[in-house]
Amino acid sequence: MVSIDKDMKTVPGLYVNADKRDLGALDSSVAQADYWHMYQTLIGDTTDGYTGCPGIGPKKAVAILEPFTDREERPGLVDRAGAWKRIVEVYEKAKLSEAEALVQARVARILRASDYDFKAKAVKLWTPPSAT
C-alpha cells in the first residue's frame, strides 16, 4: 500500500508512507495490524468521523494495550481476547457500553481480505475475539 494515511498501519502487509518515502517500506504483521486497530478503537479518529473512547489519547491507549503486546513485534497484539476485554472495561468506565466499543472497533477497521466473503459478495463485520 502507498498512502499518507496512518490508518493503513491497521492492515497487514507492506506499507509506504508517500510523505516519508525515505523510511522505506514497512512490513506490518497481523499482530502489528491488530495492535493498531485496537489503538484506533481507543483513540478514535475525528478526521474519519469517529470518537473512540472519551478521555483516551495516544499515551493512555499505549498503556492500556501494553500488557497484551509483544515488543518483538514492535508492537504486536498477542492477546487479542485480553485486549478486547480490557478495552470494554475502559469504555464501561467512561459510561459507554460494549456495544458502543464494538461500533468504534468496526468503524476503525479497514477491511482486510479476510473480512470479505467473496462467494456471497458480502462484508463480514469484525467480531471481538473470544477468550479461550
Q: What is the pLDDT of residues 95-124, one digit of tens each?
A: 999 999 999 999 999 999 999 999 999 999
- Averaged pLDDT of the chain: 93
What is the pTM for the complete model shown? 0.91
Query: With 90 as the cut, is the pLDDT of residue 5 above it?
Result: no
Query: With 80 as the cut, is the pLDDT of residue 79 above it?
Result: yes
Strand duo 69-70 + 76-77: pairing:
antiparallel
Query: With 60 as the cut, is the pLDDT of residue 132 above it?
Result: no
For 25-37, what is each residue's pLDDT tens digit? 888 899 999 999 9
Sign of CA dihedral 121, 125, 128, 131: negative
pLDDT in the model for residue 70 = 87
Q: Which residues contact 2 (CB under 8 A, 6 or more apart)?
A: 15, 16, 18
